């Protein structure tokens, strides 16, 4: 099938990568043209490099012809960050999937971007270590994708997001040069911190080809609490108390009234309540009971309805079954879902929940909120029928109003999903002109021709 690629570029990359590494057939292009945002666009070709040298050669060749380059992991992103709307070449890291080194004494691992998060966790288990980021797609998402979007997950409240757990990178810039920053050390006051600049940049500044990851000792014991409150205000006040005391929870998840009602309708054994917190502690056998008691004391207070404790693995699994059941249950409401992971200060969670309830009433749509309360990072799910033009319009109007409310509450657009195109057009309301200009200057320095994932993250400059 013919594509829009220059013939010289097609010939050069075909010779470099061979038939397994250079695909222009429609099946391969379609398979690499969408992600979990459900948006799609066909690339002109798919490149599947085997090493860093090939990645650099691909970028140099594409730059010479001004052809866009879009990096891709497993396609689990929800902000359309990996969708090639401008065509060009999608670079899949499926063949760069090796764990290069595990260094227990240095508490780090060196990996290629195509390694799956879940596979890395399994490889670390015999060493008594783990990598902290735990997105819900951990079994199928790649480390490269986690790095690109600064992925998080429930453990982020104690252990941080991806950016907090990366020590160094090797990456290919938009000029095709390989840069190396950071390394297997935990203190570094040497030069600019390019590592943490590139993490979260969604493939717009450089293509990550190797990462040195910070590892942590695996806790020997865990226990959990399931706490129900009369309303969201009581739960949010408890979150503030939990985060003020010295024992940091390993996980701290929130569900609003709508989420609890949905679980009850789908047969999950939870009582009727205005809000729920799932709290987890970790440590060792000696310290865990004290840690759990401290968390239980902080979780109590005004609005508390009930508190369940789970000390063993089976009981913990039962507590967390509600959280795991929630996302699948959403599809029982409506086939369409706009899921945005907005962030507000923890003290403003009640205001955000109240705003979500008001938006649901105003736009006559079910909206369900849950997520990582300790970080103020809630997943707001607007449910609708995409085939209904009126519902579709109301859903997107509700989304616009949600972003406006989040910014008014002193929050920000994304905690872990990234910007992609889904939130790009709100960036000039989240940041002032001088800050956006600084971001564009960074982009121009590392990608002077603008070929890396064009049209993502930054809105078009005006004037």
CA–CA separation, 359 and 364 (whole Å)? 8
Q: Residues 6 or more apart from 45 whose CB is under 8 A from it?
A: 3, 5, 10, 13, 22, 23, 24, 29, 88, 89, 90
Q: pLDDT band for position 389 (50/70/90)?
A: very high
Q: Residues 6 or more apart from 322 whose CB is under 8 A from it?
A: 226, 255, 263, 268, 270, 276, 278
Cα three-residue angle 170-431-198, rounded to 5 degrees? 0
Q: pLDDT band for position 38 (50/70/90)?
A: confident
**Percent over 70 (pLDDT), the chain:** 99
CA–CA separation, 30 and 321 (whole Å)? 35
CA–CA separation, 238 and 235 (whole Å)? 5
CA–CA separation, 253 and 370 (whole Å)? 7
The dihedrals phi and psi of 204, each to the nearest 5 degrees, come to: -95, -15
Model pLDDT, residue 318: 78
The dihedrals phi and psi of 169, each to the nearest 5 degrees, come to: -140, 155
Sign of the alpha-carbon torsion through 128, 131, 134, 137: negative
Cα three-residue angle 148-57-454, rounded to 5 degrees? 45
Phi-psi region for residue 432, left (φ > 0), alpha (ψ -120 to 50) or beta? beta
Task: Please give the model's pTM, rounded to 2 decimal places.
Answer: 0.94
* Under 8 Å between Cβ of 411 and 349: no
The pLDDT of residue 83 is above 50: yes
User: What average pLDDT does range 269-273 have in this prediction?
Assistant: 92
Model pLDDT, residue 463: 56
The pLDDT of residue 447 is above 50: yes
For residue 229, which of 263, 192, 270 has the smallest C-alpha distance? 270
Q: Which SS3 state, helix, strand or coil, does residue 102 take? A: strand
Run of H or E residues at 435: helix 433-446
The pLDDT of residue 266 is above 90: no
The pLDDT of residue 1 is above 60: no
The pLDDT of residue 177 is above 90: yes
The pLDDT of residue 311 is above 70: yes
Q: pLDDT band for position 269 (50/70/90)?
A: confident
The pLDDT of residue 3 is above 60: no
385-391 long-range CB contacts below 8 Å, 24 or more apart? 385/334, 385/335, 385/336, 386/335, 386/336, 391/336, 391/365
CA–CA separation, 214 and 211 (whole Å)? 10
The dihedrals phi and psi of 276, each to the nearest 5 degrees, come to: -140, 140
Q: pLDDT band for position 2 (50/70/90)?
A: very low
Q: What is the DSSP track for 300-335?
A: -STTEEEEEEE-SHHHHHHHHHHHHHHHHHHTTT-S
Q: Which residues pair with 111 in a beta bridge?
A: 99, 211
Model pLDDT, residue 176: 98
Angle subtended by helix axes 313-330 and 257-265, to nearest 10 = 90
CA–CA separation, 338 and 156 (whole Å)? 23
Q: What is the 3-state secondary structure (H, E, C) of 357-404?
A: HHHHHHHCCCEEEEEEHHHCEEEEEEEECCCCHHHHHHHHHHHHHHHH
User: What average pLDDT does range 101-106 have in this prediction?
Assistant: 98
Query: How is residue 56 written in tokens?
Result: 């650099």
The pLDDT of residue 391 is above 50: yes
For residue 128, which of 149, 147, 107 has the smallest C-alpha distance? 107
Dump pLDDT digits (tens) for 331-384: 889 999 999 999 999 889 889 989 999 999 999 999 999 999 999 999 999 999
User: What average pLDDT does range 19-29 have in this prediction?
Assistant: 97
User: What average pLDDT does range 449-457 have in this prediction?
Assistant: 98
Q: pLDDT band for position 317 (50/70/90)?
A: confident
The pLDDT of residue 101 is above 50: yes
Query: How is residue 13 written in tokens?
Result: 């990359």
CA–CA separation, 324 and 83 (whole Å)? 27
What is the rounded average pLDDT for all residues in the chain? Answer: 95
The pLDDT of residue 8 is above 70: yes
User: What average pLDDT does range 52-68 have in this prediction?
Assistant: 98
Neighbours of 92 (CB within 10 A): 25
Q: pLDDT band for position 312 (50/70/90)?
A: confident
Angle subtended by helix axes 349-363 and 232-244, to nearest 10 = 150
Placement of tokens 């705003």 in the chain: 355
């Amino acid at each position: 099938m013919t594509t829009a690629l220059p013939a010289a570029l097609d010939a050069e990359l075909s010779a470099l990568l061979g038939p397994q590494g250079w695909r222009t057939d429609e099946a391969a292009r379609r398979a690499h043209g969408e992600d979990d945002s459900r948006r799609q666009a066909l690339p002109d070709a798919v490149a599947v490099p085997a090493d860093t040298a090939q990645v650099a050669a691909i970028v140099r060749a594409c730059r010479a012809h001004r052809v866009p380059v879009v990096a891709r992991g497993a396609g689990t992103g929800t902000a359309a960050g990996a969708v090639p709307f401008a065509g060009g070449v999608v670079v899949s890291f499926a063949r760069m999937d090796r764990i290069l080194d595990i260094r227990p004494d240095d508490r780090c691992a060196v990996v290629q971007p195509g390694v799956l998060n879940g596979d890395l966790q399994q490889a670390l288990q015999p060493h008594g270590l783990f990598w902290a980021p735990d997105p819900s797609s951990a079994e199928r998402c790649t480390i490269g994708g986690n790095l690109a979007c600064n992925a998080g997950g429930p453990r982020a409240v104690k252990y941080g997001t991806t950016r907090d757990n990366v020590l160094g990178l090797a990456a290919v810039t938009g000029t095709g040069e390989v840069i190396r920053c950071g390394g297997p050390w935990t203190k570094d006051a040497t030069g600019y911190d390019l590592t943490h600049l590139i993490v979260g940049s969604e493939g717009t500044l450089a293509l990550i080809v190797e990462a040195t990851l910070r590892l942590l000792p695996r806790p020997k014991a865990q226990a959990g609490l399931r706490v129900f409150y009369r309303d969201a205000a009581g739960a949010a006040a408890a979150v503030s108390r939990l985060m003020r005391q010295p024992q940091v929870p390993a996980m701290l998840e929130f569900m609003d009234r709508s989420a609890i009602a949905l679980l009850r309708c789908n047969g999950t054994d939870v009582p009727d309540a205005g809000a729920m917190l799932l709290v987890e502690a970790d440590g060792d056998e000696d310290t865990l009971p004290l840690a759990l008691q401290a968390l239980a004391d902080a979780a109590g207070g005004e609005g508390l309805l009930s508190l369940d404790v789970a000390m063993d693995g089976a009981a913990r699994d039962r507590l967390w079954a509600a959280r795991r059941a929630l996302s699948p249950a959403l599809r029982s409401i409506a086939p369409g879902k706009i899921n945005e992971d907005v962030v507000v200060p923890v003290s403003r969670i009640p205001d955000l929940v109240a705003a979500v309830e008001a938006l649901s009433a105003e736009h006559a749509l079910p909206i369900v909120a849950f997520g990582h309360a300790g970080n103020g990072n809630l997943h707001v799910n607007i449910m609708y029928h995409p085939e209904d033009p009126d519902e579709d319009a109301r859903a997107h109007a509700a989304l616009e109003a949600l972003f406006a409310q989040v910014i008014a509450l002193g929050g920000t657009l994304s905690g872990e999903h990234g910007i992609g195109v889904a939130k790009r057009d709100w960036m000039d309301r989240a940041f002032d002109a001088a800050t956006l200009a600084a971001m564009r200057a960074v982009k121009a320095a590392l990608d002077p021709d603008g070929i890396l994932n064009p049209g993502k993250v930054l809105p078009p400059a005006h004037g």
